[in-house]
Structure 1
Amino acid sequence: MKDNLTLVQRVEAHPDSRCWFVGWNPNGSLLASCGGDKTIRIWGQEGDTWVCKSVLEDGHQRTVRKLAWSPCGNYLASASFDATTSIWRKKNQEFESLTVLEGHENEVKCVAWAPSGNLLATCSRDKSVWIWEVDEEDDYECVTVLNSHTQDVKHVAWHPTQELLASASYDNNICIYKEVDDDWECQATLKGHTSTVWNLSFSATGERLASCSDDRAVKIWKEYPAESGQGDKSWKCVCTLSGYHDRTVYDIDWCRLTGALATASGDNAVRVFREDASSDPDQPSFSLAAHEPNAHGQDVNCVTWNPKEAGLLASCSDDGDIAIWKFLEQD
């Protein structure tokens, strides 16, 4: 019997344009969305209903593709097809534009904050990953440009506790970076997907990494000590979930409260997977726990778990809508 995925609310978030991304702030009280209409919208609860609290306009000239909340929740970064990343500062209930980061040659596809809040990563269609350092005066400086991919870089994700960065690309690969002697280096290249890797999500401990792809598969990678006992750790694919998605898997999010995996797909569906209780950590198995085949009217672009309320899930789509779901686990 499948676990329940119940629709809590559906919102016309970005009418007449795609909604590309939704992201919860660190305490789970606000939800930010962005889309093809060049705006960012901030959503909060009034009673049991999610309503728009703020609309951030004039920050970008083209589509806003991705957002990232700082770990403290006081800053919001937005990545745009106009080749810039904007930083917004929360001031009481409003947001003000703080600065604009420039340098990428074309579309910025993703932005992500390190767990310390002192580093920011951006990636672009220009095939590069940039790491920015933030000082106490809110000044941002690019400290390195990484060119480990041969194609458009779709996504960047930080390890939950370490300054370790992962990136996913149109070249079918995943790269893992870390700082060595004040210089950032690609420490590992994860090969296994046969088409574009769209998104990445670390587990709660950071020992595992989930990836999703245009090849319609989800892969679980596990970190292992270096075989020689020295040097860099290695990442190995320990599980592949295939046969579940009818089209591209655009997004994946690993719930750090429950361990459930949610996916967003071009087949208009949202799915939730749970790890089998008896599975071997070195050969884990996952089962489909919930499947909403018509979650949206068009491609589902993003899924994200609330960081504080177990089972609360948000999704967004090319149809411009945000959907809030409740995943109820069955005994």
Structure 2
Amino acid sequence: MKNSVDENFELNEVQTLEGHTDRVWSLAWKPAPGIDGVPAVLASCSGDRTVRIWEQSPATGCFQCKAVLEDTHTRTVRSCAWSPSGKFLATSSFDATTAIWEDAGGDFSCVATLEGHENEVKSVSWNASGSLLATCGRDKSVWIWEVLPHNEFECVSVLQGHTQDVKMVQWHPSVNILISCSYDNSIKVWAEDGDSDDWHCVQTLNQSNSGHTSTVWALSFNASGDKMVTCSDDLTIKIWGCDIIRMQSGDGYAPWMHISTLSGYHDRTIFSIHWSREGIICSGAADDAIRFFTESKDDLVDGPSYKLIYKKEKAHEMDINAVQWSSMENNRLASASDDGTIKIWEFISAPGKKMHL
């Protein structure tokens, strides 16, 4: 285990949120509306078949459970994601459905149920404009849904290409490119064919091009969208880069290239990874630990390299399934665990130290 860390940082536990009666699988911060005084809102979903909505009190700064979304999913709720506007929350479940909840001033109602997957739906993601929704599942497929008026959703493409359970789907932050990662050890990149309006796989990242050698659990993009980070059962974290200018110009697909591999930092499966707007990568794993990495400015001869800047052992009592940076405060982080709790953290510069990134 590599242990060199930057002493300029501290991770302070702010609050532990309790209420779920089973493992907590996924977290999603509600997008910031850009209005001062609007409280932070966090969604969590669990093996107890519920989704909980937590809201921060402006008076105390503490988070309280404001809503429990239940009696819709009949099995584990595996993933949750807010639409870019924050008006809708999508939740996917082992009951083979994805539910769409509308938030009307804190009152939530299920306005659509998406069916089609053969079994467990593992992940859900909205594109940047909120016009498309992607789901994936144990049935090895990725579905793309078009958001229509009056809370209607139409499946426009079923993507077959993975040979095993698909663990996560994630839209690129600015371009309609979809990334999926799977139990088959691969990451696939999907793009729309402009001529036929159909979707197809334009790139597969696997062991043959410096990819992972075991299940790929999660991925995240940096703020500018020119880099992607992935984590795996092979105990590594990998950084990928692309020519974002070419991708955004529409001149053709820009391939992702392997930049760096981080290994030796977790000694059990890395389940979750998230890249903050400030450039800090956070990882959560089955070793109950959280790690923080950032780009190293020391050696750029062979391209960007990344270094561990902070580690938190025993952040939870059991496996950490999700880590998510806040969409409102740069230094706030939430983590979720098999122990049934959610923890709110502040990642800050140590007293008397300056944060060097």
Per the TM superposition, whether the score is higher than 0.5 is yes
- Distance in 2 separating the partners of 1:223 and 1:280: 17
Aligned match of 1:11: 17
Give the deviation of 1:273 after TM superposition: 0.9
Aligned match of 1:43: 54
Q: 1:173 to 1:44 in 2, by over 3 A?
A: same
Residue of structure 2 aligned with 1:85, choices 75, 98, 101: 98
Q: Secondary structure in 1 aligned to 2:256? A: strand
Amino acid at match of 1:24: W
Aligned match of 1:277: 297
Residue of structure 2 aligned with 1:67, choices 80, 105, 115: 80
| 1:101 matched to 2:114 | yes
Give the deviation of 1:280 after TM superposition: 3.0
Residue of structure 2 aligned with 1:253, choices 248, 269, 274: 274
| 1:155 matched to 2:168 | yes
- Distance in 2 separating the partners of 1:37 and 1:279: 47
Residue of structure 1 aligned with 2:189, choices 148, 156, 176: 176
Amino acid at match of 2:166: V
- Distance in 2 separating the partners of 1:42 and 1:311: 21
1:219–1:239: 8 Å Cα contact kept in structure 2?
yes
Amino acid at match of 2:272: D
Structure 1, 185-194 or 67-76: larger mean CA deviation? 185-194
- Distance in 2 separating the partners of 1:98 and 1:234: 38
Aligned match of 1:200: 219
Give the deviation of 1:290 after TM superposition: 1.5
- Distance in 2 separating the partners of 1:41 and 1:248: 26
Q: 1:311 to 1:79 in 2, by over 3 A?
A: same
Structure 1, 66-75 or 133-142: larger mean CA deviation? 133-142
Runs of 4+ in structure 1 off by over 6 angstroms are none
Give the deviation of 1:220 after TM superposition: 0.3
Give the deviation of 1:136 after TM superposition: 2.3
Give the deviation of 1:282 after TM superposition: 6.5
Amino acid at match of 2:199: W
- Distance in 2 separating the partners of 1:107 and 1:282: 42
| 1:303 matched to 2:303 | no
Percent identity over paired residues: 51
Amino acid at match of 2:221: F
| 1:237 matched to 2:258 | yes
Aligned match of 2:147: 134
- Distance in 1 separating the partners of 2:302 and 2:160: 31
- Taking structure 2 as the reference length, what is the TM-score of the superposition? 0.89
- Distance in 1 separating the partners of 2:106 and 2:77: 21
Task: Report the count of equivalent residues.
Answer: 326
Per-residue displacement from partner, 1:269-325 (whole Å, max 9, x unpaired)?
A: 111111113453972111211111010000000000001211100000000000001
Aligned match of 1:218: 237
| 1:190 matched to 2:205 | yes
- RMSD in angstroms over aligned alpha carbons? 1.5
1:177–1:186: 8 Å Cα contact kept in structure 2?
yes
1:13–1:322: 8 Å Cα contact kept in structure 2?
no
Name stretches of at least 5 consecutive residues in structure 2 with no aligned partner: 1-5, 33-38
Q: 1:142 to 1:296 in 2, by over 3 A?
A: same
Q: 1:268 to 1:281 in 2, by over 3 A?
A: farther
Amino acid at match of 1:221: W
Name stretches of at least 5 consecutive residues in structure 1 with no aligned partner: none
Give the deviation of 1:94 after TM superposition: 1.1
1:216–1:242: 8 Å Cα contact kept in structure 2?
yes
- Taking structure 1 as the reference length, what is the TM-score of the superposition? 0.95
Give the deviation of 1:64 after TM superposition: 0.2
Per-residue displacement from partner, 1:104-159 (whole Å, max 9, x unpaired)?
A: 00000000000010000000000000000001222100000001111000000010
- Distance in 2 separating the partners of 1:313 and 1:231: 36
1:238–1:282: 8 Å Cα contact kept in structure 2?
no
1:263–1:303: 8 Å Cα contact kept in structure 2?
yes
Give the deviation of 1:231 after TM superposition: 4.7
Give the deviation of 1:174 after TM superposition: 0.3
Q: 1:216 to 1:323 in 2, by over 3 A?
A: same
Structure 1, 3-12 or 34-43: larger mean CA deviation? 3-12
Q: 1:321 to 1:184 in 2, by over 3 A?
A: same
